[in-house]
Chains A and B, each alone.
Chain A
Amino acid sequence: MTVLEQPGSSRHTSALPGPPPDWRPRVDPAPLLPDAEPYRLLGTDAARGLDAGLLKRLYAELVRGRRYNTQATALTRQGRLAVYPSSTGQEACQVAAALALEDRDWLFPSYRDTLAAVARGLDPVQALTLLRGDWHTGYDPHEHRIAPLCTPLATQLPHAVGLAHAARLKGDDVVALALVGDGGTSEGDFHEALNFAAVWQAPVVFLVQNNGFAISVPLAKQTAAPSLAHKAVGYGMPGRLVDGNDTPALHEVLTEAVRRARRGGGPTLIEAVTYRIEAHTNADDATRYRTDAEVETWRAHDPIALMERELTARGLLTDEFAAATRDGAERLAADLRERMNQDPVLDPMDLFTHVYAQKTSQLRDQAAQLRAELDAEQLPAQEARP
């Protein structure tokens, strides 16, 4: 047996001088390691003690979220959205992430996380601007403290760390929560962000939505780590594994991680085990890389169905509450349908407005050129404005 196969051989004592004690491992990794089983609340005895108001709120957000997802997907079929990466099946992650934060905190979403932004209070139409294609970011990030939806994978993670670090330097107790997919954890920026966060003890929470696939590539081809949450120990932060379809469990873990970060306890890596029910986007063909049987297994573990069982068991899912929830979701969908069916009003001259604080002479020339082209088309951009 070699020394690699037999850890523990260090228990031999040596009479020769060794490395100074300071240079040995500084932290016991055990408390940083995730449990082998994802943390769950629904269906357990502990669920009985959950606050009824919170359960109902989470449920209503899930139902709204599901309706939002189906409506946005429908809008792609009508050509109203260029693309939509659906979070159907992952609503628990989206909702829990949004609700775990205080107003002053920041959310750093990826392209799949429009629902988290909407659950945080962002106007659904503004959340879809990127995906409709009228501008890259349809909202002022400061208004709801939501960073722009990020398309290059994992690049939003160092931003979250930097913002949280800056807030702490300024003496504000602001926390940043960053969302990333399982595929995104392979990117260098994931590593650099976690490393910076741990070294700086920045108030950041990283939530990995492990939905099993990066487009078509399954987790087993993405990483050989025991779990994504295990990656945390290498950075010196706790990693926690949660059932990503168990909304109250996720909400509890996220809320606790946010509280810990706010108190100066440093970052946490949370892996939510979930599943993407729809294809990667409306442009993807999921039948090429997974079976219907697999999808059906996950439908049985649907976050909304899980909540309904719990609410029913506790007598909270009254006809009245169910109807009100459904109505709220339908109103959201109707509003979205109506407003997305209006053509956006675009001003081509905006192309030059926000490249630099002041236009360069080159951009002034190019703006004049476009202006002339528009005039020649007899489509004055000014008049297109209402």
Chain B
Amino acid sequence: MTTTAAAAARKPATMAQALTRALHDAMAEDPSVHLMGEDVGTLGGVFRVTDGLAKEFGEDRCSDTPLAEAGILGTAVGMAMYGLRPVVEMQFDAFAYPAFEQLISHVSRMRNRTRGALAMPLTIRIPYGGGIGGVEHHSDSSEAYYLATPGLQIVTPATVADAYGLLRAAIASDDPVVFLEPKRLYWSKDDWSPDAPAQVAPIGRAEIRRRGTTATLITYGPSLPVCLEAAEAARAEGWDLEVLDLRSLMPFDDETVCASVRRTGRAVVVHESAGFGGPGGEIAARITERCFHHLEAPVLRVAGFDIPYPPPMLERHHLPGVDRILDTVARLQWESDWTEGRGE
């Protein structure tokens, strides 16, 4: 057994280890899978997600590139054209921006512009979000930018099992995937073990993480543990909250979301990225369009403030926490106020 696998086999595994394992398994199964990015080789990535892979599979398959995000993604496009399955790492959320041109002008639309003749089976791994005390440009939640681009799939795991399963699915997908890794959960553990049979998690399906009846918290990625904690705390108020993990922002699972909201009649969308222009607005609109007659209250949002990501010593005031979620849930209860226009 390799060092990587041996490390991963320790129980329970972290999300970072599950990701390493997913990359490892994908590379072992399919010789066309190639990893590339800044520091992914010898160092194993700044978060060590590619740890040991260059050693095991060689530097041609896990390669350190020059420091150039457009170059990384742009050359990956050419590699995909020649039949490889590149998996590129963008070192941090805010450093993926130089690659936007390639992402939007080529990666997202190559299948479309060539009528299906050229697929882009590539995965763009991006550590994202705050909560790790990072300095400026190390904590952005950039999902809304990707979400505004047809042709991309946008996937973000919130559990260790999903980190493995969704990354395997992303690499296997014949369409490009922006794979957002909630960096604050890299070191989180749950009962996933690398010894268990490898489960690929289908892209495009949301998962109910906690059943409830009072309202649905709709969330993804780094905010899932916060929502679960809020749901536990809400029991003291007599509220039984359902928690729904989207897992994939595109494709969007309208079916699971609407079924849940129709059951509970109330919904709160929770995410770290700014509320204005953020995914929550889109999700609230979809729910309103589809579930209006089932709603007992407007769909509310708990989001990061509409500010550039704050300095680390202030980030806890910015990130949606349990209290802010519970305060928002409390606002859902005053049904009559909404109808009388005193809701805000």
Contacts and interface: CB of A to CB of B under 8 A. Distances in A.
Q: Do A and B come from one complex?
A: yes
Interface of A: 135-137, 139-142, 147-148, 152, 155, 157-167, 169-170, 174, 176, 188-189, 191-193, 195-196, 199, 350, 353-357, 360-362
Q: Which of B84, B115, B151 has the most CB of A within 10 A?
A: B115
Given A195-B68, A362-B251, A140 B105 contact: no
Contacts of A189: 70-71, 74, 101-102
Contacts of A152: 101, 105-106
Contacts of B102: 155, 158, 189
B112 A355 contact: yes
B66 A195 contact: yes
B78 A356 contact: no
B312 interface: no
A161 B75 contact: yes
Contact of A161 (B78, B151, B251): B78
B166 interface: no
Nearest to B252: A362
Given A169-B60, A356-B151, A159 B250 contact: no
A192 B118 contact: no
B76 to A, nearest CB: 6
Given A140-B114, A189-B74, A355 B150 contact: yes
Interface string B106-135: 100111111111110000000000000000
Q: Which of A139, A189, A191 has the most CB of B within 10 A?
A: A189
A256 B207 CA distance: 58
Contacts of B101: 152, 155, 189
A147 B66 contact: no
Contacts of A192: 66, 68, 70-71, 74
A169 B84 contact: yes
Nearest to B112: A354
A158 B71 contact: yes
Interface residues of B, number: 48
B207 to A, nearest CB: 17
Given A147-B81, A159-B106, A137 B114 contact: yes
Q: Which of B76, B82, B118 has the most CB of A within 10 A?
A: B82
Contacts of A159: 74-75, 77-78, 81, 106
A155 B74 contact: yes
Contacts of A353: 115-116
A158 B175 CA distance: 20
Contacts of B153: 356
B283 to A, nearest CB: 13
A158 B88 CA distance: 14
Contact of B113 (A136, A155, A166): A136
20 contacts: A135-B113, A140-B114, A141-B81, A155-B102, A155-B106, A161-B74, A161-B78, A162-B81, A165-B75, A188-B70, A189-B70, A193-B74, A195-B66, A195-B68, A195-B71, A196-B75, A354-B112, A355-B150, A355-B151, A357-B174
A196 B251 contact: no
A152 B252 CA distance: 30
Contacts of B74: 155, 157-159, 161-162, 189, 192-193
A139 B106 CA distance: 16
Contacts of A167: 82
A362 B116 CA distance: 19
Given A158-B74, A159-B74, A140 B117 contact: yes
A157 to B, nearest CB: 7
B311 interface: no
B254 interface: yes
